[in-house]
Structure 1
């Protein structure tokens, strides 16, 4: 903003000599710059920010505590997030309710502000393309881990046997090829325990996934 000195004294003398009215404004008068004028004319209301989820509200209150419990590892964001996600999964619905209710209120306020913003002619920022979102997407640490299938459970029990049979200097690919051959030759009776275990793990996984709260 530029400042221009008033011509008050000069106007006073001119008016006095001419016998005209003595109207002038003494002192300095602020004059908006061209850039400020453009900014004022082009100013638009900012779009409302997306509200935090129940998990993020809980994490905000507990991040310092969780980081402190990890010691030196508390300085690593990924480890703090992993520990927080694991703890969040163990919380009861009663404990989570406070944050779930807070998140619901924030979301309701967001929708109200969004509607008002759009009525004023505002346009919400466009969503990123699926390709860009996938590239930058981070794994939800609180998401239940996908269980192993029957073959992977069997391999877990027989990997050492296979690697010993292949001898030193074998490649990981050779282990998988040999394991695949052996699995195919297994009878239904041999596969049965692993199939049953995989089925139980999958049912437990689906149950956890249904009750999972997205970050």
Structure 2
């Protein structure tokens, strides 16, 4: 579910191209108030016009963008996000380095077996090209049962390791809760 939008948050700053498109749109509306703008066509024409413009002509829009950036910075300086929304909702949780490694898929077992041979065959390939080649070869494999069996066994390993890990985490939490704080131990000694 997407995060709720904060209507009080300042509108983002325009870049020079966005300022140019906005001016083009306003000009078009003034010249043709009854016309409906077809966004795909309009944006193509704007892009072509922007590419053909000289730097001197673009300066006007760079100035507009600079003013809008200053406006945005002023407004953000006084902006206070609502409680509980300090940052982006897309932040990843930090992974516990003690947690077990996740189970590998059948494809990853296949890659482990053939990556070295592809590197030997094509020493000039970069990581992406090796991955593409592995993908092509994986599609051609007719009997994947060997790798699927390895993946199933690794999944069992992972589930057992996670169960043990979760027991350890729960025990550590419980032990932490049972240890009295300094305030409690002072009160007991009185």
The TM-score range, normalised by the shorter chain, is 0.3 to 0.5
Greater RCO (Cα-Cα under 8 Å, separation 6 or more): 2
Superposition TM-score, scaled by structure 2 size: 0.39
Larger radius of gyration: 1
